Amino acid sequence: MSAVLWKLNRLRTMTANEIFYRVQQALQVQAEKRGIGLAQPIEPEGNAGKPWLNQLPHDFDRDRYRAAADRILAGRYDIFALQDIELGFPPRWNHDPKTGTNAPLGFGKKLNYRDEQVVGDIKYLWEPNRHAELVTLAQAWTLSREPKYAEAIRLLLESWFEQCPYPLGPNWTSSLEHAVRLVNWSFAWHLLGGETSPLFEGDAAQAFKRRWLEAIYRHCHFIAGHFSRFSSANNHLLGEYMGLLIATLTWPLWPDSARWRQLAQQGFESEALKQNFNDGVNGEQAIWYHHEVADMMLLCGLVGRANGIRFDAAFWQRLEAMLDFIAGLMDAGGNMPMIGDSDDAMMVRFSREPGFNVYRSLLATGSVLFGRGDFKAKAGHWDDKSRWLLGDDAAVCFEALAIPASPSPRREFPEGGYYVLGQNFDQAEEIRAVVDCAPLGYLSIAAHGHADALAFTLSVAGEELLVDPGTYAYHTQKQWRDYFRSTRAHNTVCVDGLDQSVIGGNFMWLKHAKAELETWQPGELEDRIAGSHDGYLRLADPVRHRREIVFDKTSHTLKVRDSLHCLRKHRVELHWHCHEEADVSLLGSGVMIARANSLLSLTFDDQRFLARLARAEETPPLGWISRSFDSKSPCTVVVWTGEIEGPCELETRMQVILG
């Protein structure tokens, strides 16, 4: 999409107040480019803040953390789809390892990081610059006390200061990137021993410390001057407040620190309550971002508590509700539907455990924070991240929690728009369907939402059968970015080959399909839900899609009735995306979907429709799943395609057979 068209579309999503704000920001950037209003070095005064724990934990597999740190010393990194690549030690910080592009050191805020001709794939460039590896090195030091790990942190930071001079280049463009970097610097600082760290002993070390603090001040100044306001005030704004808050609690060393801290604390708490519904669902309608935001709240809550900052009870209640949502959607195998966008981001990478699960980890931490035995049951075990955050003693509290005899997870989230049908929850013979009757996304651009109204996922016996295919791409590969968030890439009805909502850019929707719940009736013998959306009312011949799902608990059968209200002819597709490891067979008008412990039979008897199995198709894309950012693999999609003329009702019957 051309830059001009993108800007025109972006203007369409803005209010007059936002346009005025954007003009002010543009004028500010012009002034900063001329050197007006830039951060000037200020001598720090006073003492640094307290770590999040009085006593850091040590009960870990030390060799695991030393091995991870040694890989960094050898210059080996994992960045999205690039695994175990050699970046060198230290890396080239302005280099995109995916495309080989070296971004220019022009004035940062004027650099177009969306242009891959200029910066390459910005996600790959930015990821190592978040400095998660500094925390790994600091963990290895605190567990082993080997000087090489602390010295490596000094060398990495000094190289970053040299290669990324303020305010130039791609690492001085985004306030969120500054914020995440500050958070990792904070935890690394405390793990190294804070102000009394051996890293700061001697005159040369003190000069390094001053340089680091100067960079911290400039980061704080940058964030405070460039918040993501108005229609951009999603997780980016929350993350910016997080970085500024944790930084000012860790380093309250300058005259501006108290003002910044108050601004960040008030803003963070306000946005945490605003961006997350009362029922615990994050407004962006993206499960991975739900995890990210919950993690932001957890980190700020713990660092704040250690430094005398008390968030209101409503803040902690909202965080507990967000964990309730995770527990409600997670199946017996620990799987979460991949609804909405995901970029695999973590604020701080604490754990080096194989098979680490971010959702189970949040529940483990939450079980101790909130005294929730049901969270403990879903978490399964006390993980390394929870130990790093809450300490060695918290493991004893975790083990002492009683698990409820009859788990009853929450199944309805009416503000967020998600509902759970099924039976035998969290048991070996569980059947769990997660239905999306939610808004497209958050605010006018709905940046991370997908066109998935009335879609659902299905897992049986802890195994996924019908899935949401995920995200795959962000700033680059427009065809794939558009496909993975399209209606065709979800388990719902597509009309005339169009999306329910209208794309305006990589992180922008111009028209939002509005989903509306009509019926929700969970019961002992059956669960019933019905909803509709208005996404296709924009057509010349308007079409309203209504879907009713009835789950019969005696026969283990789901009946999916799709009603299409229109007057004239339309081409209709029903898509059912199967797990990539499922064995899928087309048998006449029926389909069998098999995994190790379960079998799903699909029947659809409308003679106007033809059935086919799609897999790994590229023009146009269909039959792909993305389990991690920038990685995709084939999956089988059951497609029924036909034409209707006037109103009709289509019924898909799904029979679950437990193995």
Chain segment 35-92, per-residue pLDDT in tens? 999 999 899 999 999 999 999 999 999 999 999 999 999 999 999 999 999 999 999 9
Distance CA 630, CA 81 (A): 6
Kindly tell me the burial class for residue 294, based on how many C-beta atoms sit within 10 Å of its own C-beta (0-12, 13-18, 19 or more): buried
**Predicted pLDDT at 306:** 98
**Predicted pLDDT at 1:** 52
**Predicted pLDDT at 659:** 75
- Residue 249 pLDDT > 80, yes or no? yes
pLDDT interval class at 575 (50, 70, 90):
very high
pTM (global) more than 0.85: yes
Averaged pLDDT score across all residues of the chain:
97
**Predicted pLDDT at 388:** 98
- Residue 317 pLDDT > 70, yes or no? yes
Distance CA 600, CA 380 (A): 28
Each residue's pLDDT tens digit, 382-398? 999 999 999 999 999 99
Residues of the chain with pLDDT > 90, as a percent, come to 97
Each residue's pLDDT tens digit, 164-188? 999 999 999 999 999 999 999 999 9
**Predicted pLDDT at 2:** 75
Each residue's pLDDT tens digit, 122-159? 999 999 999 999 999 999 999 999 999 999 999 999 99
Let me know the angle formed at the C-alpha of 274 by 272 and 275, rounded to the nearest 5 degrees: 70
- Residue 244 pLDDT > 90, yes or no? yes
**Predicted pLDDT at 439:** 97
Each residue's pLDDT tens digit, 634-657? 999 999 999 999 999 999 999 999
Percent composition of the chain: helix, strand, coil (DSSP 3-state, to 5): 40, 25, 40
Each residue's pLDDT tens digit, 332-341? 999 999 999 9
Each residue's pLDDT tens digit, 209-219? 999 999 999 99
Instruction: Return all residues near 629 (Cβ < 8 A) that are at least 6 apart.
Output: 80, 81, 123, 342, 343, 344, 471, 472, 474
**Residue indicated by tokens 């995890």:** 291
